Amino acid sequence: MKSDIDNTVTGRITRELADRIIAGHIAPGTKLRQDHFAEEFGASHVPVREAFRRLEAQGLVVSEPRRGVRVASFDIAEVREVAEMRASLEVLALRHAAPHLTSAILDEAEAINRAGENAPDVRAWEEANRAFHRLILTPCSMPRLLATIDDLHAASARFLFSGFRMEWEAPTDQDHRAILKALRERQFDVAAATLARHVKWIGTKPGTKTRSRTLS
Amino acid sequence: MKSDIDNTVTGRITRELADRIIAGHIAPGTKLRQDHFAEEFGASHVPVREAFRRLEAQGLVVSEPRRGVRVASFDIAEVREVAEMRASLEVLALRHAAPHLTSAILDEAEAINRAGENAPDVRAWEEANRAFHRLILTPCSMPRLLATIDDLHAASARFLFSGFRMEWEAPTDQDHRAILKALRERQFDVAAATLARHVKWIGTKPGTKTRSRTLS
DNA sequence: GGATTCAAAATTATAGATAAAAAAGGAATC
DNA sequence: GATTCCTTTTTTATCTATAATTTTGAATCC
């Protein structure tokens, strides 16, 4: 099954590096030296290289042959690109998932949404946000689509963490509520349109707005 | 740039294996043994393993930890899924590319389309088809989107080659012509709708239809 | 100061060896 | 005869050591 955690050394290194890059602990453009991480993780360079390949596929690092890999940089154009891709694909997923959404699932989504609104920091809010989207999209039963959306979520999260360092208040997720309301009333077109607008909005707002003090 | 050919051993093995899988020379479900390919390519097992990771990311092979990698199988549901993803993403790309399409580009697309209609076999037709789509979508200037679409094209091609083995006639690409016509008249909504229908049709027709009759 | 040359470092790749897990095969048992 | 259990073999996953190629940085020279 896919849910089995990859317990190989390659898998652990991949997850750890992905977390660090998404959280912004490694700055974009930083060169990643295989021997350095091999030593840090007590492994050899081979699993480190394999982890690099996986991260490359997720778009978290870029690889130049014979010049190594560096953390992928993202400018505003890339952030918008990811947001538009997410909007398209999440709408597709929702269209297929909607007929299979039970009210139990929608109740759970509402609970997750409330948890997100009470989140103490960006990290917790992002986790709740991702859980919300994943929950209402999973019933589409399209594994490749869901995997691609997950990768795009990771790219979005990088941007979120990089722009929102400072004081942060959990927004009341009005869009999430509107989506759930539309889904309960089985107005799938309304739900899809709201979702598309919501995802694109996430992609554009923080970057143009907040840029003041940097607290960790 | 991305256009630099990856001349490392890993890159060559990746391309060669991807070609074979797409062309159907290796059956779905086949176990890929690293030592076998290491010997065949005169390389060691390390670059073979790295190639496996890249193919895994493209969805051409699936990997189970400690059990190796197998050529990804694809059933009709997966083919439909890929077609729907392509439709969504190509429409998005076209929306962004359309304003930048010059009549020179559209002329070139028309030439490629004619070449595709005269193609002697599926392989040549598929190449022309891919070139057509890529040509009219590239001006969107969204590299991640284009890369994702390329991966989906590869998945589509696998299906095409597996279902269309025998006698085959080049279809007159009515849809391609309609798309070009709409683009020339700057009716972008019409072009996008036609493209979406076209891509979904490619995904569904050969599997459900050409099982009984082998074309006349 | 700028260009050339040389040395150090990093990536890429090879080879052989080891550990661990899965698959295969065969013997003992019911 | 079929099943279970154990052994053998195969394959994956990993490490260590090392070579070759390339990049990079520094020192030198004009």
Per-residue pLDDT of B69-122, as tens digits, reads: 999 988 889 999 999 999 999 999 999 999 999 999 999 999 999 999 998 888
pLDDT of A160 over the 60 cut: yes
Instruction: Residue window 5-34, chain A: list those with CB within 8 Å of chain B.
Output: 6-8, 11
Dihedrals phi, psi of B85, to nearest 5 degrees = -65, -45
Whether the Cβ atoms of residue A169 and residue A110 lie closer than 8 Å to each other: no
Residues 99-138 of B with CB under 7 A from strand C: none
Of residues B34 and B150, the one with the higher pLDDT is B150
Whether the Cβ atoms of residue A162 and residue A24 lie closer than 8 Å to each other: yes
Q: Residue B146 has what pLDDT? A: 98
Q: Rounded CA gap, A145 and A138, in Å?
A: 10
H helices of A2-75, in order, are 9-23, 34-40, 45-58
Task: Give the CATH class of B9-71.
Answer: mainly alpha
Of residues A163 and B96, the one with the higher pLDDT is B96
Judged by C1' against the alpha carbon of A11, the nearest nucleotide is D13
Q: Residue A4 has what pLDDT? A: 55
Per-residue confidence band for A166, with pLDDT thresholds at 50, 70 and 90: low
- Look at the alpha carbons of A21, A27, A28, A33 in this order and tell me if their dihedral is positive or negative: negative
| Fold matches, B9-71 and B76-209 | no
Q: Residue B11 has what pLDDT? A: 87
The superfamily (CATH) of domain B76-209 is GntR ligand-binding domain-like (1.20.120.530)
Q: What does the domain layout of chain A look like in residue ranges? A: 9-71, 76-209
pLDDT of B45 over the 90 cut: no
Chain B residues near residue A53 by CB distance under 8 angstroms: 50, 53-54, 57
Q: Rounded CA gap, A160 and A125, in Å?
A: 10
pLDDT of A150 over the 90 cut: yes
The residue of chain A nearest to residue B91, with distances taken between CA atoms, is A88
B36 CA to D10 C1' distance (Å): 13
Most confident of A30-44, B40-54, B123-137, B202-216: B123-137
What would you measure as the largest C-alpha separation in chain B, in angstroms? Answer: 56
Q: Residue B170 has what pLDDT? A: 67
